[in-house]
Amino acid sequence: MRDPFGLFQENISVSYAHLLLEIVHGYAIDTETVLSGTGLLLAEMKQADAKMSAHQWSKLVVNALKLTGNPRLGIEYGFKLRPTSHGALGFAFLSCTDVETALSLCQQYFCTRIQNFIPELKIEEDFVYVYLDDVHPVKLGGAEQSDQLRSFLIESLLFGAIHFLSIFSEKIIESCEVFVDWADAQNYKSIDLSQIKIQFNQQRNGLRFPKQYMHCKNPNRTVDVRCEIRLDCFRKTYRFHMHIYY
């Protein structure tokens, strides 16, 4: 079977699936029901190096959306996503001295964790823009289901990014705006957006915040040799892998 986008390659960490299962459990839905039809087995998912394919992850997300009845589940997921769910990239993010360093790191190495979107970082006038562009169409089932899946993926990444940036300063959340390329929906009014504004029917998906926050320091980072070694090792390791891949 042809797989031009690598959707059936098991190269995604199941750490993302574990968080989704935790969230769905809060809706009183058992794990086996959510995993049904995905090809994922809980026993295998508990292995430290367990991976899943993009196709399996998409099926799991679709199941979660249907079972919870929450079309904005991606926002809840993003707010609960832990930086360490991104593996080495997450730990490297937590080792960054400031927002600018963290965003530069994520833009360069985003593809080591997520392959269906490409981030672009721009500074225009007084704002920092982080855009997410599709690498390939997101499709699973009919058009409505595919749109819901794509919305989940984009919202989880954008609101996850805002959640991570709040590590540097909680004021960033109050100043953030999110841009999405789909129409407004009534269900947005029923969720807590933590003062984040959403603009609909935009040309590109992304977020923006005042550039004054680019130099916010990481209050949880201790300036020691270990953080520098961790960042240096991450860069060298993934620079090598990206060279081999491309």
In the predicted structure, residue 245 carries a pLDDT above the cut 50: no
Quote the pLDDT of residue 224: 53
**Which of 5-9, 70-74, 150-154, 163-167 is predicted least confidently?**
5-9
The pLDDT tens digits of the residues spanning 163-207 come to 999 999 989 998 999 999 999 988 888 888 878 999 999 999 999
User: pTM of the full predicted structure?
Assistant: 0.88
The CA-based angle 74-75-81, given to 5 degrees, is 85
Count of other CB atoms within 10 angstroms of residue 130: 23
In the predicted structure, residue 67 carries a pLDDT above the cut 90: yes
Contact 131, 120 (CB under 8 A): yes
Higher pLDDT, 190 or 38: 38
In the predicted structure, residue 136 carries a pLDDT above the cut 80: yes
In the predicted structure, residue 55 carries a pLDDT above the cut 60: yes
* H helix runs in 49-182, sequence order: 54-68, 73-80, 88-94, 99-109, 143-165, 171-175
Rg (CA), the chain: 18
Q: How much of the chain exceeds pLDDT 70, in percent?
A: 89
Tell me the pLDDT of the chain averaged across its residues: 88
Quickly state the pLDDT bin for 227 (edges 50, 70, 90). Answer: low
Q: How much of the chain exceeds pLDDT 90, in percent?
A: 63
Contact 234, 102 (CB under 8 A): no
The pLDDT tens digits of the residues spanning 101-123 come to 999 988 888 887 888 899 999 99
Instruction: Give the residue extent of every domain in the chain.
Output: 1-69, 72-218+225-246
